Structure 1
Amino acid sequence: MALLAASALLLVGCSVDEPVVATPTPTAEARPIGESATPTALAFAPLRGTRADWAAMQHPSIAAKIDNHEEARPQVALNRTDIVFEELVEGGLTRYLAVWHSDMPAQIGPVRSIRPMDPDIATPFGGVIAYSGGQEMFVAMMQATPLVNLVFDLDDTGLFSRADERPGPHDVILDAAEALSRNAALPPPPVQFVYGGTDPLADPAFKAATTSSVSQVFSEERYPSWSWDAAASVWLRSQEGAPDLDDAGAQVRAVNLVTMRVDIDWQYGEVPKTVMVGTGEVWVSVNGRTAHGTWAKSAREAPIVFTADNGEALTLAPGNTWIELVPTTGSVAFAP
C-alpha cells in the first residue's frame, strides 16, 4: 500500500496542521475576475513535491554519475538537483548519483564512470542517465535498463566536453540543456516518495527526535555531516569537517536528509556494490527532526519505500532530497 501511495499520490501540505492530498493532475489556477490572462495548469514536481507549472514538468529527468574526489570539487549545479544518492566506491571514496528534473541547469559535472549499483538506483526515474564509461560489465548492466544512456567514452556528438580549468579525469562536463533537448519526448519521472507539509514528522506517533546535526561515516576517507539551519529550513552539508560548497560558492543543502544503512556486496573484487534491492534501517531528517524506520525496495524498477516504526509512511517535506547510503560497516550519529 505504501508503494502504491508513493507512486500515485503527492501529499502537499498548505500548513503543518492541514495537509492536502492531491494527485499531479493539472488544475486551472484561479485568477481575479476580469483578468484576461490564460490560466496556468498547476501540478507538482514529481521529484520534489513542490507546486510547479504542469507544462514545465513534461520532460524527462537526467541522472548523472558525479565525481566526489577532492579534485572534482566544487561540483557543477549540485544545489539544483532534485535527489542525490551518495554511495561507496573503491578506496573508501564516494560518488554521487544525482538526478535533475524540476530545475535543469545548462551543464552538470564532473561526470565519472558507472558502478554496479547504479542501475538499481537510476532505473525507477526513467529518462536519461549520463556517465563517462566504466568497466565493460557495468556499462552493459546500465545499457540493459530502459534508460537512455549518454556515455562520454562513446559520444561523438558533442554532448560532453572537458573543462580546461579542472584537472583530468575530474573534468568531464555534460551539456545538460542539449541532452534534454534531444530527449524531450521522453516522459517525466514518476513520483518516488510521499510528501507532506513543511513539518511532516511533527505527529507524536513518529517519535521524531529533535536533531541539530547528523554525521555519517562511510570510511576513514569519507565522513560527511549535516547541520540544521533553522533560519533557512535546510540541512547544510560538510565533508571531512569542512563546508561542502557547489560551483556557485553556496554550501550544499537539502530540505530532506535520508540516511539508509546498506549492505555491501563484494562480488566484483575491489569494486563495492551497494545492495539496493532489499530492506534495511533508515532515518528521515526533516525540519530539525529525525524519525526512525525501515526502507524497502522490491525490485530494480521499484522506488524506495520508507516506513516508520509505527507502520505509517515516513513522509518528506516539499523540496530536494539527499540520500546517504551508509554501509553497515560505517556509522551514523545524531546530535539533539
Structure 2
Amino acid sequence: MASKTTTRNRRTESVVRDARQLIRITATLTALSLGLAACGGEDKKDEDASDDPKSIASSEGDPATWPLTGLPVEGGDSAEQDHPVLVLKLDNTEASSPQQGLSHADLVVEELVEGGITRLAAFYYSDIPGDVGPVRSMRSSDIGIVSPVDGAMVTSGGAAQTVERVVDAGIKIYNEGSPGFYRESSRSAPYNLFTDMKKVANASEDDETARPVDYLPWGAEGDLPDGKAANTLTADFGSHATNWTFQNGSYVNQNSHAADGDEFPADSVLVLRVDVGDAGYTDPAGNPVPETIFEGDGKALLFHGGKVVEGTWSKDELGSAVELKTKDGELTVPAGRVWIELVPIDDKGGSVTFGK
C-alpha cells in the first residue's frame, strides 16, 4: 500500500491532530484489506494463474512464455537468453533433401523467391540444435520477417544490394566463415553448406540476456471463434505448392523435404496473403528477384484443429509485430509451433485452397 506522508503544518495544532488521525484510520483500513486478500484471494489468484500459460512466472519474475511459440517455460529455464533469435535460411527444393534440424525450430516462415519456388526462414530460440541445413542465401524480404524480434540471420550470404539493406536495418549476419559453418562432403554445392547452430549461438552471445517480444498474438485454443472445416490446405506460390493435412492433432506437410523424424511439428498453419514487389536485380539465371512486402495489411487464414478462421493481418512497418483480427475483434493464435505461409495475392501468382 502507498500512503502519503503528512507534511507538518505549523499553522495550527488542530490541523496536525486531524492529519494524524487520518493517517491512523488509513493504516487500519489498509491492514484490514491486506488481511482479507491474504485469507480469501490467494487461492483464487493461484487457481487463475494455473489456467493461463502466460501468467506462469519464474521466481526471478522472468517472462513465463517463449516469444516464438507462446508456450510456457518449464523446468526452471528462463525465456531470457544470452543470444538473439537465430533465423536460418533453409533451402526448400528437392535438391536440399534431406533437410536437417527443422524439427527443432520454434517457428517457420515460408517465403517466395525467384522462379516461383520458396525458401524457409527457420527460427531458433528455445531449442538450439546441432547441425542444420542446407543453408542458403537471404533476401530483402527477410528484413520484415526477422526485424520484429531483433533476430540475427544465419545464411550463406546474399546479393550485394540485399546485404547492404539487411545491415542498414540493423540485422546481424552470420555466414560462411563464421563459427559453426562447414561444407558437407557427401553433398553437391550449393546444397552442401551446413552449420552447427550451437556454435552460432555461442558466437552470438553478448552477455546481455533479453526476451524478444511475442512474434504473434498468442492465446488459447478456446479463444478461437468458430471456423469452417478444413482438414487439407494448399499454399501455392506459383512454381511450388505446399500441401498440408490435419492428422492426429497437428498439420503434416505432405511434400516436406525434411529427414524422416525431423519434420516441423506444426500445431497451426497461418496463411498471410501478401503483395510482392521487385527487389531490383536478377539472379544468376536472369530471373527477377521478388520482394515480399511484409508490412501493411491483407487477408489472413488461421488453420488450427482441422478448421480455418478467416480474418485480416496488419503490420505498421517492417519491424512491427503481426496483428490479427476478425470482424468481431482481435484474433489470437493458440500457443504452439506455427508455420507461416507468406502467399502472394492472387494477381501476383499465389493462391490458397482448402477442403474438408
Could you tell me the TM-score, scaled by structure 1's length? 0.81
Partner of 1:131: 155
| CA distances 1:120-149 after superposition (whole Å, capped 9, x unpaired) | 110112142111111101011111233321
Distance 2:149 2:63 in 1: 22
> 3-state DSSP class of the match of 2:202?
helix
Higher strand share: 1
Secondary structure of 1:51's counterpart equals coil
Q: Describe the shift of the 1:250–1:150 C-alpha distance in structure 2 as closer, same or farther (beyond 3 A).
A: closer
Q: 2:335 matched to 1:335?
A: no
Output aligned runs, 1:162-173, within 5 Å. 162-173=183-194
- Distance 1:120-1:66 versus aligned 2 partners, 3 A rule: same
Q: 1:313 Cα shift?
A: 1.9
Structure 2 equivalent of residue 313 of structure 1? 330
Three-state SS of the structure 1 residue aligned to 2:308 is: strand
Match of 1:213 among 220, 232, 236: 232
How big is the shift at 1:45? Answer: 1.3
Q: CA deviation at 1:151?
A: 2.1
139-148 vs 254-263, which deviates more?
139-148
How many residue pairs get matched? 295
1:175 aligns with 2:196: yes
The residue that corresponds to 2:268 in the other structure is 256
TM-score (norm 2): 0.77
User: Partners of 2:55 and 2:317 in 1: how far apart?
Assistant: 24
| Residue correspondence of structure 1 range 1-336 to structure 2 within 5 A | 20=52, 22-23=54-55, 25-27=57-59, 43-53=64-74, 55-59=77-81, 60-152=84-176, 155=177, 157-184=178-205, 185-186=207-208, 187-201=210-224, 206-219=225-238, 221-229=239-247, 231=248, 233-239=249-255, 244-269=256-281, 270-310=288-328, 312-328=329-345, 329-336=349-356
The unaligned stretches of length 5 or more in structure 2 are: 1-46, 282-287
CA displacement, residues 23-53 of structure 1 (integer Å, 9 cap, x when unaligned): 574248xxxxxxxxxxx98821111111114
Q: Distance in 1 between matches of 2:101 and 2:53?
A: 31
Once the two structures are TM-superposed, the CA of residue 275 in structure 1 deviates from its matched residue by 0.7
Give every structure 1 segment of 4 or more consecutive aligned residues whose post-TM-superposition deviation is greater than 4 Å: none
Alpha-carbon distance between aligned partners in 1 of 2:222 and 2:100, rounded to the nearest angstrom: 30
Alignment check: 8 A CA contact 1:107 1:174 kept: yes
Q: Partner residue of 1:37?
A: none
Which of 1 and 2 has greater Rg? 2
8 Å contact 2:53–2:72 — kept in the other structure?
no
Asked whether the 8 Å contact 2:92–2:257 carries over to 1, the reply is no
Q: 3-state SS of the aligned residue for 1:22?
A: helix
Instruction: Tell me by how many angstroms 1:91 deviates.
Output: 1.1
Q: Take 1:107 and 1:288, find their aligned partners in 2: how far apart are those partners?
A: 33
Decide whether aligned partners of structure 1 residues 97 and 178 sit closer, same or farther in structure 2, where only a CA change above 3 A counts.
same
Whichever residue aligns with residue 264 of structure 1, its letter is V
- The whole-number CA distance in structure 2 between the counterparts of 1:190 and 1:266 is 30
Partner of 1:32: none
Displacement of 1:254 after TM fit? 0.4
Between 1 and 2, higher relative CO (CA 8 Å, sep ≥ 6) is seen in 1
CA-atom RMSD, angstroms?
2.4
Deviations 1:247-271 (A, max 9, x none): 3445443011001111110252500
C-alpha change, 1:41 and 1:158, in structure 2 (3 Å) is closer
Greater helix share, 1 or 2? 2
CA contact (8 A) 2:217 2:333 kept: yes
Percent sequence identity is 27
Q: Deviations over 1:58-103 (max 9, x none)?
A: 2222111111121112211112111111111111111011101111
